[in-house]
Amino acid sequence: MTRATLHAAKWSYSSTLITAALQVVVTAVLARLLAPSFFGLFAMAGIVLRFGQYFAQMGITQALVQRPSLNVEHERAGFWASVLLGLAFAGIVWVLAPFAGTAFRSVGLPSVIRVMSLTFLVSGSSSAAAGVLRRRMRFKELAISDIFAYTLGYAGVGILMACFGCGIWSLVGASLAQGISGSLAYNYYARLNMRPIFSWAPYREILGFGTTISLISFLEFVDGNLDNIVVGRLSGDSALGYYSRAMSLTGIPMQYMSTSLSSVLLPSFSRVQDEKRRLGDAYISVITLFAGMGLPVAFGMSAAARDVVGVLLGPGWGASVVVMRFAAVAAVMSMLSHFSGIMLEATAHLREKLIMRAGQLVVFTALLVCMSPLGIGGYAAVFVLSEGLLYGAMSLTINRVFRVSLKELGKAHLPGCVSGIAVGLALLAESWCGHRLGLSAFILLACEILSAGVIASFVGFRTDGGRLYDVLSERLTDAHVGIPRPVMRVMRAMAGRDQ
């Protein structure tokens, strides 16, 4: 199971790395071709659509993955339930689009939402295929589909339309093109039986689990976008453009780090969902690795925010710097919470997850009201606090459900915390000195990335007796990943294993 999981993860991460690299390049290009207000308007439309997306999909993908046993009737029911729900929500959003424009005080928003409502039907046509491919651990096909879809959608259609002056419709066209091409690829590989099924039993079995997942996902969406709603409502589309771009950039590495592995972990954990201690040990390994990698990245991005924004977005995006400093820290806590949530989802502990997400929403709302006078920086600070409280609650739940001690959890985070603090302090000093010397943002950022990698590896590998190095090398061995000897010698030297 470990080898199969890690083999699937290799394909998932290959897709992640390629797509993340493309996304950074595409974001940089589009930021120079389109005004911030277009990104703000697109973000508003995305918020409205995602409100319905979770219920339109009804957790069908996760339900197909998590079920202990699955037959052809379940697959057919999952496909047609997704398609019909997608069609219904597309119609609902089309009718209600003018109300969204009034809520956001945006005249151009309803027309954008109406065109983008087609994404409900598109995503509905691919939900069952995605679930079946994930359940079968066919992540090579999923990787090929995702890379193809993003390249055609954003790197192709989006940039081409922006060059021809299509404005906001460049982003809309890119989103639709990505969704349609991804759906075609998923269904090509899954080869589902799409004959309609009129028996209620398989629908009930799929939608019973999926409905709770949808409610949890909806709460996660509200928690993750309530600040965007407030910024768009109170500060306008330009302020939301600055805010959403900073959030997007900081979320890219963390999002792809977490979603790539979690898509693999859900089917793997679901197969051994009754072995709680085994799952607890696996969770400790996952947290050791991803806290060890994520915390240095987060603290590094926070410290180098001025240079990241200057290089990737350009000089006109200075207002995004303060948001990025906070958002980077929130992103890593959100990533770690995501892994906790996967553990609970794979073992059907949905009640605990639902309660924690509902509690986060209440706390987040109260904090936003208190911090609203401080502007977009205050909203970003609230996001950090909200994600930190959620992760604390998730950790306590993992401690109780899977018998993972708090001491084990603390030791799992230690290498990442120590190396993250070291990286953050070093990059703050480096950024200050670089600007005093008049270095360009591009050169300075390149130096910061290099020094961050060296510091994070050296400090992280040597903390707590080389715990992070041991876990990393063990997992690479399990996955049969060949590391070049020079790289391996450097890693061993940084961990102090050659002494």
Residue 181 confidence (pLDDT): 94
Which amino acid would we find at residue 277?
A: R
Instruction: Give the integer Cα–Cα distance in Å for 224 and 220.
Output: 6
Is residue 417 assigned to a domain?
no
What amino acid is encoded at 434 in this protein? G
Is the pLDDT reported for residue 480 higher than 60? Answer: no
Length of the chain: 499
**What mean pLDDT do residues 117-138 have?**
88
Rounded Cα distance between 324 and 242, Å, is: 10
Instruction: Kindly report the average pLDDT of the chain as a whole number.
Output: 83
Helix, strand or coil, per DSSP, at residue 304: coil
Residue 464 φ/ψ region, left for φ over 0, alpha for ψ in the -120 to 50 degree band, beta for the rest = left
The lowest-confidence range among 40-49, 179-188, 487-496 is: 487-496
Buried b (16+ CB within 10 A) or exposed e, 131-145: bbbbbebebbbbbeb
* Spatial contact of 333 and 387, defined as CB atoms under 8 Å apart: yes
Token representation of residue 307: 């240079």
Assign 478 a pLDDT band (cuts: 50, 70, 90).
Answer: low
Helix (H, G, I), strand (E, B) or coil at 331: helix
Instruction: Determine which of 38-42, 224-228, 309-313 has the lowest per-residue pLDDT on average.
Output: 224-228
Q: Which residue has the tokens 């290009």?
A: 29
pLDDT digits (tens, 9 = 90+) for 428-439: 999 999 988 888
Q: What is the pLDDT of residues 387-415, one digit of tens each?
A: 899 999 999 999 888 888 889 899 999 99
In contact, 241 and 95? CB cutoff 8 Å: no
Give how many domains the chain has, as a whole number. 1
Which segments of 272-405 does DSSP mark as H helices, in order? 276-303, 305-312, 320-346, 350-371, 375-401
Which of 15-19, 306-310, 369-373 bottoms out in mean pLDDT, i.e. has the lowest?
Answer: 369-373
Within 13 Å and on the Cβ side, how many CA atoms surround 422? 20
Residue-wise pLDDT for 350-394, tens only, equals 888 888 988 888 888 888 777 766 777 778 888 888 889 999 999
Q: Is 471 a member of any domain? A: no
Q: In this structure, is residue 24 part of a structural domain? A: yes
Does the structure show a pLDDT above 70 at 130?
A: yes
CB atoms inside a 10 Å sphere around CB 393: 18
**Nearest CA among 79, 68, 173 for reference residue 119:** 173
The 3-state DSSP class for residue 192 equals coil
* Residue 111 vs residues 74, 231, 235: alpha-carbon distances, Å: 37, 21, 21
Range of the domain at 63: 1-198
Say if residue 499's pLDDT is above 60.
Answer: no
**Cβ-contact 65, 267 below 8 angstroms:** yes
d(CA 355, CA 177): 37
- Residue type present at position 331: A
Question: What is the pTM (predicted TM-score) of this model?
Answer: 0.70
Is residue 250 a part of any domain in this protein? no
> Can you give the pLDDT at residue 372?
67
Whether the CB-CB separation of 181 and 153 falls below 8 Å is answered with yes
Whether 86 maps to a domain, the answer reads yes
**Least confident stretch, 192-206, 389-403, 409-423:** 192-206
